[in-house]
Amino acid sequence: MSEFGKITPGMVKELRKIVGENGVIYEEREALDNYSRDESGGDYYAHMPDVVVKPENAEQISKILKFANQERIPITPRGAGSGLAGAAVPIYGGIVISMEKMNAILEIDKTNLVAVVEPGVVTNDLCRRVAEDGLYYAGYPMSVETSFVGGNVATNAGGSKVIKYGNTAHHVLGIEVVLPNGEIVQFGGKRRKDSSGYDITRLFVGSEGTLGIFTKIFLNLIPLPGKTVDLLVPFKDIYTAISNVGPLITESRMLPSAVEFIDDTSVVLGSKYNNITLPFQEKAGSYLIIQYEGPDKEELESVYAKAGKALIDGGAMDVFIADNRTNSEKIWRMRRNWLEGIKAFEPHTPTGDVVLPTSEIPKIMDYISKISREYKVQIPVAGHAADGNLHPAPMKPKEMELNEWKVLSEEILSKIAMEAAKLGGAVSGEHGIGFLKKDLLKETKTKQYEIMKELKAFFDPNGIMNPGKLF
Ligand SMILES: Cc1cc2nc3c(=O)[nH]c(=O)nc-3n(C[C@H](O)[C@H](O)[C@H](O)COP(=O)(O)OP(=O)(O)OC[C@H]3O[C@@H](n4cnc5c(N)ncnc54)[C@H](O)[C@@H]3O)c2cc1C
């Protein structure tokens, strides 16, 4: 990629003219370092940008891209940097465009049930704001308190509520994008239906900053559920837990908004980190955390009564119901803080993100146990049981050198991802490909990869947009 242009002090002067003195970071090592990494697991994945710019509107981004396209300067768009695949790491240096100043909720349209936001809005800020109007934004990654809506759209983020509400793609009605040549265009908008031609909005969702930069996002809103109830269900092993997912959904006559699972290793680490002891902790091999959202208490009571019966019939050790905030928070803290809990014991813990049919979860869990024994590496696993999305998290053995661990952990996660693909799955369910999984993408999706490359060349012929990601 030596064909890329180099940032010069003269170019930085131009960038300062576009976004102002306070919108540029240059030659400040410590400040630049904050933009050199995401949450993908190791310092060894970091790469310094030459310059960071913080635009405030689409017009400024348009000017930056026109200039970068002309000079062939690599551009890395950046949301909150919470990604787990290295997608926001500027591996070729160049310009990082941070969306942090574009954080306005532009409109809550209560007639059309649409929110129009800038990409730098923290997802939970949007959830809280629309709740004030009795509305609900159902895109809900576990990183909801830190990640940006733009980052969620660019990675097609999932989370715990996909079984009921779908992943981020399901909530995006339209986007305004700045293309690499600086053109500002809008695809979709406030309309709910559109069968006129190819769905270009969807093409941009999950594009990981490789096709253009979102500057405005139109999101679907639904009514805020009146009541939520959570169930914590211990099982003797993962097989029994997973065999319950289908019957639970059928028998309860309502789609749960979440069916999460955590394995025994995760529970041991998580309970220490969160200072919580779960019931049956000594005996349970796996837990399901189930959530129902509905209009009122009465309806939910009848749903969780049916669900509870189905779970006990299916071999659950017990069913614990949390229908108040304090108890729900205890249950969810364990799951939401799962990764932080593990990283508190071993910071060099990368996270896999395989997805496969739910029925195949026991097979991949057996495979993960085999790999764990073979490599003598602890691999706690948590995931979204109802949509078959698992996060194996190999933990660096204490005595191992970082360089050795980088190679070994990549090998472990690749093997697990390839096995998932063999079982009818894919190498990423929600975190995206970034640069860490691009070989796996190429190997598992040959024709799709070819088509994607052609689309990339069409939108970004000079290859300036987030180079080295996906391809
Ligand atoms: C503790 C923890 C829990 C997590 N849980 C989940 C989960 O449940 N589900 C899930 O899906 N993910 C999860 N993640 C991963 C991560 O939070 C998501 O991938 C999130 O969507 C990334 O958003 P971000 O704003 O941090 O984006 P970044 O990491 O900054 O960037 C991600 C990608 O988006 C691109 N991008 C950002 N903004 C724009 C824009 N405006 N235009 C074009 N491209 C852009 C970047 O170039 C990059 O390719 C978790 C991460 C952590 C640390």
SS (H, E, C) the chain: CCCCCCCCHHHHHHHHHHHCHHHEEECCHHHHHCCCCCCCCCHHHCCCCCEEECCCCHHHHHHHHHHHHHHCCCEEEECCCCCCCCCCCCCCCCEEEECCCCCCEEEEECCCCEEEECCCCEHHHHHHHHHCCCEECCCCCCCCCCCEHHHHHHHCCCCCCHHHHCCHHHHEEEEEEECCCCCEEEEECCCCCCCCCCCHHHHHCCCCCCCCEEEEEEEECEECCCEEEEEEEEECCHHHHHHCHHHHHHHHCCCCCEEEEEEHHHHHHHHHHHCCCCCCCCCCCEEEEEEEEECCHHHHHHHHHHHHHHHHHCCCCCCEEECCHHHHHHHHHHHHCHHHHHHHHCCCCCCCCEECCHHHHHHHHHHHHHHHHHHCCCCCEEEEHHHCEEEECCCCCCCCCHHHHHHHHHHHHHHHHHHHHHCCCECCCCCCCCCCCHHHHHHHCHHHHHHHHHHHHHHCCCCCECCCCCC
Q: State which ligand 1 atom lies nearest to the alpha carbon of 212.
A: 43
Q: Are strands 213-220 and 222-223 parallel, antiparallel or unpaired?
A: unpaired
Euclidean distance between CA atoms 341 and 142, whole angstroms = 14
pTM over 0.75: yes
Domains and CATH numbers, the chain: 9-101 (3.30.43.10), 105-223 (3.30.465.10), 227-339 (3.30.70.2190), 346-433 (3.30.70.2740)
pLDDT of residue 1: 47
Neighbours of 47 (CB within 10 A): 16
Q: Which protein residue has the closest C-alpha to ligand 1 atom 18?
A: 83
How many whole angstroms from its chain centre is CA 186?
A: 24
Could you tell me the distance, in angstroms and rounded to a whole number, from the CA of residue 338 to the centre of ligand 1? 17
Q: Which of 53, 76, 84, 466 to mutate to test the pocket of ligand 1 (most atoms within 8 A of CB)?
A: 84
Ligand 1 proximity of 286 Cβ (cutoff 6 Å)? no
Q: State which ligand 1 atom lies nearest to the alpha carbon of 430.
A: 11
Ligand 1 proximity of 94 Cβ (cutoff 6 Å)? no
Ligand 1 proximity of 352 Cβ (cutoff 6 Å)? no
Q: State which ligand 1 atom lies nearest to the alpha carbon of 77.
A: 47
Ligand 1 proximity of 257 Cβ (cutoff 6 Å)? no
Which two tokens mark 104?
């306005």
Could you tell me the distance, in angstroms and rounded to a whole number, from the CA of residue 121 to the centre of ligand 1? 12
Token pair 């976004």 in the structure block, residue: 19
Which two tokens mark 253?
């006559």
Is-contact 241 365, C-beta < 8 A? no
Ligand 1 proximity of 231 Cβ (cutoff 6 Å)? no
Could you tell me the distance, in angstroms and rounded to a whole number, from the CA of residue 85 to the centre of ligand 1? 9
Could you tell me the distance, in angstroms and rounded to a whole number, from the CA of residue 81 to the centre of ligand 1? 7
Ligand 1 proximity of 77 Cβ (cutoff 6 Å)? yes
Distances (CA, A) of 299 to 150, 229, 255, 293, 306: 35, 11, 13, 10, 11
pLDDT of residue 2: 53
Euclidean distance between CA atoms 31 and 364, whole angstroms = 41
Looking at residue 424, its amino acid is G
Give the pLDDT of the chain (471 residues) as one tens digit per residue: 458 999 999 999 999 999 999 999 999 999 999 999 999 977 899 999 999 999 999 999 999 999 999 999 999 999 999 999 999 999 999 999 999 999 999 999 999 999 999 999 999 999 999 999 999 999 989 999 999 999 999 999 998 999 999 999 999 999 999 999 999 999 999 999 999 999 999 999 999 999 999 999 999 999 999 999 999 999 999 889 999 999 999 999 999 999 999 999 999 999 899 898 899 999 999 999 999 999 999 999 999 999 999 999 999 999 999 877 888 888 888 888 899 999 999 999 999 999 999 999 999 999 999 999 999 999 999 999 999 999 999 999 999 999 999 999 999 999 999 999 999 999 999 999 999 999 999 999 999 999 999 999 999 999 999 999 999
